A and B are shown apart, each in its own frame.
Chain A
């Protein structure tokens, strides 16, 4: 039996009195792409953010159940959240490079860890930029502001920045919804390449995108994990009526 890299067990989450996630139990397979789809407000982004504990930033967040990463509960009382976030990287909907140089953006994660020397950082920055297919475009201007890059380049910079921490898992929260079609397809191809290195979880509103790149699909509706399975199975023979309705565009 394959053990899952991430496993949630009866995960419930509340923002104040708002019950956002209902008994979600889901396993994420290593070095595959798992897409999370569902209508707006269904809790897919919230579920994604439980994997690197970004929901902790919201006041009055309560959680029950477990989230295991490599078999260890990331919500256990002595868990090191900063260490977790270096193991589970995240890329946001809107490209959000820091107003720093391209180099310093990618080096940021290593710099805050404070345990790498200059040449290690330089090597990793180059590798990460290559892995994010950005190296050739920026290698001559690493000291220029990241703000000078185009939107698509900025998003790949954010991917490189996350990769520089050598994460096991990469969380992508609608990474292409602010991008033009060309940049979008580039990032989709990049995901297919990156899954050799990291486990990818992607939240997307774009069903076609989920179909193109994902190995597994999680369909969420009103805070419940309605259906989970291999993408081609879910797409061809959905088990649940609601999944079928969503995939065929009855609601969304």
Chain B
């Protein structure tokens, strides 16, 4: 074997090893969660509230709470994010303002999530007096999701060929019509994929909702958006840190983890399927 072939041989196997290590972590992680949590899950677990100070019963209020938190926050962040991206992509003047906005977005993307929690508490809970509520938590999560949605939307808008814009304008369309009828429809699938991935992130976040929305024990469902809620990630945290009966709380925590994981994975899977369908269809 020549020296050169030896070198490439070593290189390739090194890469394989790295891949194997990464895959091993994932498999071990999934195995641990599922082996401990799967046995807890039943129809009853998903549809009944917790009992006996969280040592028995199900996670229904947490499931509902996570649903409302996620839907509300994306409902706020999606229109804001897509409109920001459109402005950046299609208008984006003057240059200094664009630069400031971009720096802000990127800084926002790098902020640790617990800071979002503190910020949300200060602004939405205390200053705007929303109290600990769905709306305060959803707004906090929306701020967290915004940079992700903006960046994904901007990438999607950038990938629309400039030929389409030219064709539309040359046919007598105004700039607004070109954006509404050509730019957005063409970019929409990719914008949606990016948004779905951020839904997954939002559903799984704990720190931002800790001080803004989540309560760790509630037997009833929220009455409206100004009510506090249970949420899946925070429920896991509560089960593992509060209470006295670890032997009955830990399995419930793993069961909740499985539900959360399945939720996030299925959301990501939806995004992957959408992306795959689009890649197959488009030919420009």
Contact = CB atoms under 8 A, between A and B. Distances in A.
A34 interface: no
A114 B168 CA distance: 15
B23 interface: no
Contact of A98 (B167, B169, B170, B177): B167
A200 B170 CA distance: 15
A89 B181 CA distance: 19
Nearest to A164: B171
A147 B170 contact: no
A113 B172 CA distance: 8
A54 B172 CA distance: 11
B163 interface: yes
Interface stretch (A11-19, A79-87, A118-126, A207-215): A79-87
Contacts of A145: 281
Given A54-B166, A96-B164, A108-B181, A161 B171 contact: yes
B169 to A, nearest CB: 7
Contact of A109 (B161, B171, B282): B171
Given A54-B166, A112-B181, A99 B172 contact: no
A82 B170 contact: no
Given A82-B173, A112-B181, A99 B168 contact: no
Contacts of B282: 99, 147
A171 to B, nearest CB: 8
Most B-side CB within 10 Å, residue of A54, A96, A111, A162: A96
Interface string B146-185: 0000000000000001011011111111100100011001
Contacts of A89: 170-171
Given A92-B167, A96-B163, A98-B182, A85 B284 contact: no
Nearest to A84: B172
A146 B166 CA distance: 17
Interface size class of B (residues with CB under 8 A): 20 to 34
Contact of A165 (B172, B185, B186): B172
Contacts of A96: 161, 163-164, 166-167
A89 B174 CA distance: 15
A162 B171 CA distance: 7
A3 B276 CA distance: 57
B7 interface: no
Contacts of B169: 54, 57, 85
Interface in B259-284: 281-284
Interface size class of A (residues with CB under 8 A): 20 to 34
Contacts of B167: 92, 96-98, 158, 161
Nearest to A88: B170
Given A85-B170, A112-B171, A147 B283 contact: yes
Contacts of B182: 98
B283 A86 contact: no
Interface in B61-100: none
Contacts of B168: 98, 108, 112
Interface in A34-70: 52, 54, 57
Contacts of A112: 168, 171-174, 177, 181
A165 B171 contact: yes
Contact of B170 (A52, A83, A94, A100): A52
Contacts of A98: 164, 167-168, 182, 186
Interface in A146-194: 147, 158, 161-162, 165
Query: Which 7 A-B residue pairings sit nearest by Cβ, starting from the closest?
Result: A96-B163, A86-B172, A109-B171, A90-B170, A85-B172, A112-B173, A82-B172
15 contacts: A54-B169, A90-B170, A92-B166, A92-B167, A92-B170, A94-B163, A99-B282, A100-B185, A108-B181, A112-B173, A145-B281, A147-B281, A147-B284, A158-B167, A162-B170
Interface of B: 161, 163-164, 166-174, 177, 181-182, 185-186, 281-284
Interface of A: 52, 54, 57, 82-86, 89-90, 92, 94, 96-100, 108-109, 111-113, 145, 147, 158, 161-162, 165
